[in-house]
Amino acid sequence: MSVVIPSYDEMTNLKTGVLDRVDTFLSKKNFSYEVIVVDDGSTDGGIEFVSDFAKIHPEFRLLKNSHTGKAGAVTAGMLSAVGEYVLFTDMDQAAPIKEVDRLLPFFDKGFDIVIGSRSSTRKGAPWTRTLMALGMIILRKSLIGLFDISDTQCGFKMFRNSVVKRLFAKVNTIHNGFSAVSGSSVSAGFDVELLYVADKMKYKIKEVP
């Protein structure tokens, strides 16, 4: 398995030991793994932190990317992955790495892409955020479909490697390799676009709570 984690000025999360937690979980599994941390031009010392971590954890490697935003960083990491299955997840581990145990069985059932899905009701979320989320779902389904997917935005998505090479190459071509950005850049449209293109390419997608 390959795990791709984009990183842009993530020193706060890195200092909490997030990479150690990922390593501890994966090291107990009965498959080999690699963790690719894609640095997207950090300026907070994150590059050095990950580099030092990788020196004593051979399953981890740092991929330095020009600052193209999360979409560009994820794409670069996915295209460099060698695992039979490739997951991308967020550094803050909002969806913990242990959730891969919920996703993996569906590949044996013939699915090409398995994505995590959060509850439609976010405990403690302000009503404005809930309303915005509902509005985005309605707008997305009206414009492009994807009717069988309720949560396109969960940052926990896994793919067969053969799918990765075609799908992310296609997305990379659409964006002409992604352009440089300034400041933090996380586009909600990337996940929607990725799943839309995958659907058009006839890949079987499974959404898992």
Q: What CATH number does the domain containing 86 carry?
A: 3.90.550.10
pTM here is 0.87
Q: How many domains does the chain have?
A: 1
* Residue with the larger pLDDT of the pair 56 and 127: 56
Q: How many separate helices (H) and strands (E) can be counted in the chain?
A: 8, 7
Rounded average pLDDT over 14-33: 97
> Between the ranges 131-135, 150-154, 191-195, where is the mean pLDDT highest?
191-195
17-26, 54-63, 71-80, 182-191: which has the minimum mean pLDDT? 182-191
Show the domain range for 179: 2-208
Output the six-digit token pair for 167. 């799908």
Q: Would you state the pLDDT for residue 138?
A: 66
C-alpha dihedral (189, 201, 31, 157), degrees to nearest 10: 20
Q: What is the DSSP letter of 36?
A: E
123-127, 151-155, 197-201: which has the minimum mean pLDDT? 123-127
Calpha distance 174→158 (Å, rounded): 21
Q: Would you state the pLDDT for residue 151?
A: 82
- Cβ neighbours around 108 below 10 Å, total: 7
CA atoms within 13 A on the CB side of 103: 26
Rounded average pLDDT over 41-61: 97
Amino acid of residue 92: D
What pLDDT band is residue 179 in, cutting at 50, 70 and 90?
confident
Amino acid of residue 121: T
CB 16 within 8 A of CB 91: no
Q: Would you state the pLDDT for residue 132?
A: 67
SS3 77: helix
* Residue with the larger pLDDT of the pair 192 and 206: 206
Mean residue pLDDT across the chain: 90
Q: Would you state the pLDDT for residue 53?
A: 98
Calpha distance 100→22 (Å, rounded): 11
Tens-digit pLDDT profile for residues 114-145 = 999 986 555 666 777 666 666 666 666 666 66
